[in-house]
A and B are shown apart, each in its own frame.
Chain A
Amino acid sequence: MITVNGIHVTFGRGTPLEKHALRGVDLTIPEGQFVTVIGSNGAGKSTFLGALAGDVIAETGSIAIDGVDVTRWATPKRASLVARVFQDPMVGSCTALTIEENMALAAARGRRRGLGFALRGDRRRHFRDRIAELGLGLENRLHDRMGLLSGGQRQAVSLLMATLAGSKILLLDEHTAALDPGTAEFVLGLTRRIVEENRLTTLMVTHSMRQALDYGDRTVMLHEGRIVLDVSGEQRAGLDVPHLLALFAKQRGGEDITDDSLLIG
């Protein structure tokens, strides 16, 4: 359960580059819902996700996760409630560490890290079992550095890492944008499976309207720092990409969509 109340975020206040990235976003997401977030470049999607994760602290408004007010919490503190997968596989994992070390890091998310060995026999076995579920043959490569994996493999492992420790919400920031179409398809299928198995409250930012409608239970569109569209249930089931575009244009008072990337996919 996520409750967002009227959050505002401004970057570079008082400079020529001042950017009012979020202008009063309200959103309530019930437990277990899978929400897809779309919007053109600069609409505030990534800022919104950053605000939920703690990378960006909202100036006004409040954010509560599972009834706990986390508005002022920094990223490491919020990590006990929030699991994330980043757009760039290089950002989301430690390329210089081994796969099992990355998994050990993720498994301790939200827990105090003590002086016990990070990789004990039972934990290694657990990691091996979990990574075997991916069906990528990575269970024999646990000692390899993360940097040796392909982008798709790394995103798959990142998704798995997000589930190693308990969390209230899962944030996916265009996590398939850097992948080729076939690999993106595989990672999205894996995403769906993992979200369903763990019944995670999920926010997935995507650049593709197709993905936004095909995955999840609800779609939210951001434009210029505000939520301009929020569809779910039957209304959403009947939607297709052209409908969504028309709805979006109507919301914007007949303004045409100029961002081609929104139409692709």
Chain B
Amino acid sequence: MSEIAFFGAVEIGLVYALVALGVYLSFRVLDFPDLTVDGSFPLGAAVCATLLVAGVNPWIASLVAALAGSLAGLVTATLNVRFKILHLLASILTMIALFSVNLRVMGRPNVALLMQDTVLTPFYGLGLADHVVRPLVVLVVVVAVVLLLARFLNSEFGLAMRATGVNARMARAQGVETDFHTYTGMALSNGLCALAGALFAQTNGFADVTTGIGTIVVGLAAVIVGETVLPARAMLWALVGCVVGSILYRLAVQVALSADAIGLQASDLNLVTAVLVAVALILPRMRLKAASKKREAAR
């Protein structure tokens, strides 16, 4: 793997680490399988790119993109909490709708960011190579998000949100407004995914409606890889695990794709991802079975 390919993989891993954190919030903390992210990620990219083309400050554009994602999360949460639509279906409805919304936002299928200033522009002139600057800037954002999120989940409010996902009945008996925590968590989760989309657009120089396909699987893969390599119960380390998982996942994909002997090409990415996630989900089960067989044999 060349140096540029390595930093490229780290960069994209860091961008998707924000998706992983969002997916961790919905899947793990709230126990809400949310596919909205396939729509909120390109929504973030679309909103950010459109605003950048219109000459808006890149940080403000990124923030507005995140807010747009939160709104998408709220729509899914409302469909589920208020109108009792099954969570998976509710999120698929929002995701499908967002495809049209994203086309409307951009006015066409993709927007190129060629001459526009991005959050990265001020850092390009500092003497480091561009392919090093990009992951560094994203890293700073990711570290800030991890610290804030860990602080939030360790607060009384955050603890109530975790209880909502673990045992809603008990949480309600302890006075937790579980509906409100579901709304908040879903807004936060999709806000992070949209922020990832905004950074994706700025680091890659374009926004495209199709970039959302499979976002959820990639996010989930990162969460699972993170939980495997860094099995931690403390909130901060679980979140760090998501980030590490996301980077490792991207490096693994890069290795697989650049090893000519295997004969994979870039278009095989989704297949490779699906197989990786399936294996990661099956392995713990196999390990349990093997362990119980071993115990039986020892008897």
Residue numbers of A with Cβ under 8 A of B are 53, 74-77, 79-80, 84, 86, 91-98, 101, 104-106, 108-111, 113-119, 145
CB contact between A79 and one of B154, B167, B175 (< 8 Å): that residue: B175
Q: Does B15 contact A (CB under 8 A)?
A: no
A108→B172 contact, CB < 8 A: no
A104 touches B157 (CB 8 A): no
Please determine whether B167 and A108 come into contact, CB atoms closer than 8 angstroms.
Answer: no
* Chain A residue contacts of B171, Cβ below 8 A: 94, 105
Which residues from B are CB-within-8-Å of A119? 154
In the docked arrangement, what's the CA distance between A145 and B167, Å? 14
Q: A191: shortest Cβ distance to chain B, in Å?
A: 17
Kindly state whether residue B169 has any CB partner on chain A within 8 Å. Answer: yes
Determine how close the nearest CB of chain A comes to the CB of B180; give it in whole angstroms: 9
- Are B160 and A108 touching (Cβ within 8 A)? yes
Q: B interface vs A, CB < 8 Å?
A: 152, 154-160, 162-163, 166-167, 169-178, 233
Query: Across the interface, which residues of B come within 8 angstroms of A80, CB to CB?
Result: 175
CB of A104 within 8 A of CB of B159, answer yes
- Asked whether A96 lies within 8 Å of B170 as measured between CB atoms, the reply is no
**Residues from chain A with Cβ under 8 Å of B163 in the complex:** 94, 97, 105
Residue of B nearest to A171 (CB): B173
Complex A-B: 8 CB contacts under 8 Å:
A76-B178, A79-B172, A94-B163, A95-B166, A97-B159, A105-B176, A115-B152, A118-B159
- State whether B177 touches A118 (Cβ < 8 A): no
Determine the residue in chain A with the shortest Cβ distance to B176. A76
**Bound: A109/B170 CA distance, A:** 11
CA distance A91 to B157 in the complex (A): 21
Q: Knowing A76-B178, A96-B166 touch, does A105 contact B159 (C-beta < 8 A)?
A: yes
Write out the residue numbers on chain B whose beta carbons fall within 8 Å of the beta carbon of A98. Answer: 233
Having A80-B175, A94-B166, A108-B175, one finds 9 other A-B pairs with CB under 8 Å, namely: A79-B174, A86-B173, A91-B169, A95-B167, A104-B156, A105-B171, A108-B160, A108-B174, A114-B155
**CB distance B155 to A115 under 8 Å?**
yes
CA distance A111 to B178 in the complex (A): 14
A111 to B160, CA, bound (A): 12
Assess A53 versus B173: contact at CB under 8 Å? Given A91-B167, A94-B163, A105-B160: yes
Chain B contacts for A96, CB-based, 8 A: 166
A93 — which chain B residues lie within 8 A by C-beta?
167, 170
Instruction: Indicate if the CB atoms of B172 and A76 lie closer than 8 Å.
Output: yes
- Decide: A113 and B157 in contact? CB cutoff 8 A: yes
Given contacts A94-B163, A97-B163, A105-B163, contact A118 B158 (CB under 8 A): yes
- When the two chains form the complex, which single residue of A79, A95, A116 contacts B155, counting CB atoms closer than 8 Å? A116
Contact A75 B172 (CB under 8 A): yes
Bound complex: CA of A94 vs CA of B164, how far in Å? Answer: 9
Nearest chain B CB to A182's CB is how many angstroms away?
26
| Residues on A with beta carbons closer than 8 Å to the beta carbon of B155 | 113-118
How many Å from the CB of B30 to the closest CB on chain A? 13
Residues in A neighbouring B169, C-beta threshold 8 A: 91
Contact A115 B157 (CB under 8 A): yes
B188 CB to nearest A CB, Å? 13
* Residue with the highest number of chain A CB atoms closer than 10 Å, among B158, B166, B170, B171: B170
Residues of the B chain whose Cβ atoms lie less than 8 Å from the Cβ of A115: 152, 155-157
List of A residues within 8 angstroms of B174 by Cβ: 79, 105-106, 108-109
Q: Which 10 A-B pairs have CB atoms at the shortest separation, nearest pair first?
A: A79-B175, A113-B156, A118-B159, A94-B166, A75-B172, A109-B175, A115-B155, A118-B156, A96-B166, A113-B157
Interface centre among A75, A95, A117, A119 (most CB of B within 10 A): A75
The docked-state distance in angstroms from the alpha carbon of A95 to that of B177 is 19
| Residues of B close to A84: CB separation below 8 A | 173
Given A76-B175, A76-B176, check contact A94 B170 (CB 8 Å).
yes
A14 to B234: give the CA distance in the assembly, Å.
49
Cα distance, A91 to B167, chains bound together (Å): 7
Task: Using CB atoms, name the residue of chain B closest to A113.
Answer: B156
A105 / chain B contacts, CB cutoff of 8 Å: 159-160, 163, 171, 174, 176
Residue of B nearest to A80 (CB): B175
Contact A97 B178, beta carbon cutoff 8 Å:
no
State the CA gap A105–B169 with chains docked (Å).
13
Q: Within 8 Å CB of A104, what residues of B?
A: 156, 159
Residue from B156, B159, B174 with most neighbouring chain A CB atoms (10 Å): B174
Assembled-state Cα–Cα distance A221/B162 (Å): 39
CA distance A76 to B233 in the complex (A): 28
**Most interface-central of B160, B167, B171, B173 (chain A CB within 10 A):** B173
User: Is B173 in contact with A75, judged by CB distance below 8 angstroms?
Assistant: yes
A108 to B177, CA, bound (A): 12
Q: Which residue among A74, A94, A111, A117 has the maximum number of chain B CB atoms within 10 Å of its CB?
A: A94
Q: Residues of B contacting A108 with CB < 8 Å?
A: 156, 160, 174-175
